[in-house]
Amino acid sequence: EAGVAQSPRYKIIEKRQSVAFWCNPISGHATLYWYQQILGQGPKLLIQFQNNGVVDDSQLPKDRFSAERLKGVDSTLKIQPAKLEDSAVYLCASSPGMGSPLHFGNGTRLTVT
């Protein structure tokens, strides 16, 4: 089966600019996750979707981050405006069910200068 697809692979922007990341999960996976992984740290959950509904977004900085999952398939994560501390790898993952592991994409490495 095809894996989780993410784009772009790398992105460099200046602070206060905006950026968007795209994720296409594995076909049939109802749950989609966005994680932020800062260098040297574990992945931090930003938002979790079940189909096209939000299950948890308690750690999403809603003043600057937004995410949507239209039609319960693809998802986009947006940052506007970006700050220096947003420099990180943004990981998308999907899962078919509760007892199943997460399948991760290769991530988008964001550098904010």
Partner 1 sequence: AQSVAQPEDQVNVAEGNPLTVKCTYSVSGNPYLFWYVQYPNRGLQFLLKYITGDNLVKGSYGFEAEFNKSQTSFHLKKPSALVSDSALYFCAVRGNTGGFKTIFGAGTRLFVKA
Nearest approach in angstroms of CB 68 to partner 1 is 18
73, HSE (Cβ side, Cα atoms, 13 Å): 4
Concatenate the DSSP letters of all residues of 47-78 into one string: EEEETTEEEE-TTS-TTTEEEE-GGGS-EEEE
**Interface stretch with partner 1, choices 17-25, 64-72, 77-85, 104-112 (CB under 8 A):** 104-112
Q: Cβ distance 9 to 110 under 8 Å?
A: no
CA distance 113 to 34: 22
Q: What is 17-37 written as a DSSP string?
A: --EEEEEE--TT--EEEEEEE
User: What number of chain residues touch partner 1 (CB under 8 A)?
Assistant: 22
Min dist CB 81 to partner 1, Å, is 27
Rank residues 44 and 83 by Cβ distance to partner 1 and give the closer one. 44
Binding positions for partner 1, 24-63, rule CB under 8 A: 33, 35, 41-45, 48, 55-56
* Residue 102 in the binding site for partner 1 (CB under 8 A): yes
Instruction: List contacts with partner 1 (CB under 8 A).
Output: 4, 33, 35, 41-45, 48, 55-56, 91, 93, 98-99, 101-107
